Amino acid sequence: MFHILEHVLIHALEDTIKLVPFLFVTYLGMEYLENRAGQKTITLLSRTGKKGPIIGGLLGVIPQCGFSAASASLYAGGVITVGTMVAVFLSTSDEMLPILISGRADIKEVLFILGAKVLVGVVAGLFVDYAIRKTHNGGQKGLHIHDICERERCHCCEGSIFKSAIIHTAHITIFIYMILAAIDFVAEVVGMEQLVGMAGSSPVLSIFLVGLIGLIPNCAVSVAITTFYLEGVLSFGSMFAGLLACAGVGIVVLFKMNRPWKKNVIITGGIYAISVLSGILVEFIV
């Protein structure tokens, strides 16, 4: 048990450290927007917000740690729209691409998967933003980074933006580390491969189950899903649903930084529903 605990703590630390540069740059930018840019930035963001999901979908597919976490923080601060964040969450590839390449997957298949993830992310993001504008008489309401500052008690107005960014980064990094350590411990005890394998053994519920597993914020999830697909355990639809739902630690950051939690639950449920429906659709097409 001690060996497992040691491995879990080290592995969680390694995953968390990778996120720190992204988080720091994100919060530094948010602090600059809040303290320096003012109304001009708010006006600019409101004008470009409709294109956000397209940009988010294209950037999200690039394999990089921390981008989903950064997008969640930017959404919580009112910098980007919910549709842009959803596009990033759905298109982000996490560990999928390296596994596909190392597994010698056909290049056409790899490009199809990446393109399909971008397409789903962009379309879903644009639809979400459109629906919100229609039902709430507008989308982006402007920056509210100060709300985060008040909850985090960073005393932004009393020091430099660098100090505030460091405090924000430290708070969220500690939170992420504790969550990842807990998830890693469960994964070690239960076994992520066994979990995904059991889902694949039930053809009827496979897409629903793998999509649900994909929501677990752990890089081992995307690794297991992709590996089992390459080995023929999971169908294309199941794999696609699971990888669409894999948003890394983005969902963890969303629940940590954004209020009210009810919105976060709705967003997470929406991502799951989109992932499952997309998985069912491609299952019949491919």
pLDDT tens digit string along 28-85? Answer: 776 665 555 444 444 444 455 678 899 888 888 876 656 788 888 888 887 888 999 9
Q: Which tokens is 44 given? A: 């600019």
Nearest residue to 22 via CA among 261, 271, 248: 248
| Amino acid of residue 182 | A
Extract the runs of DSSP E, i.e. beta strands, from the chain. none
Task: Look up residue 51 and give its two tokens.
Answer: 């294109």
Nearest to 281 by CA among 197, 206, 198, 207: 207
* Peptide bond just before 53 cis, omega within 30 deg: no
pLDDT bracket for residue 117 (50, 70, 90): very high
DSSP-derived secondary structure letter, 50: G
SS3 204: coil
- Tokens linked to 175: 């939170």
pTM of this structure: 0.74
In tens, the pLDDT along 206-229 reads 899 889 888 987 667 787 788 778
- Confidence band of 274 (pLDDT split at 50, 70, 90): very high
Phi, psi of 153 (to 5 degrees): 55, 50
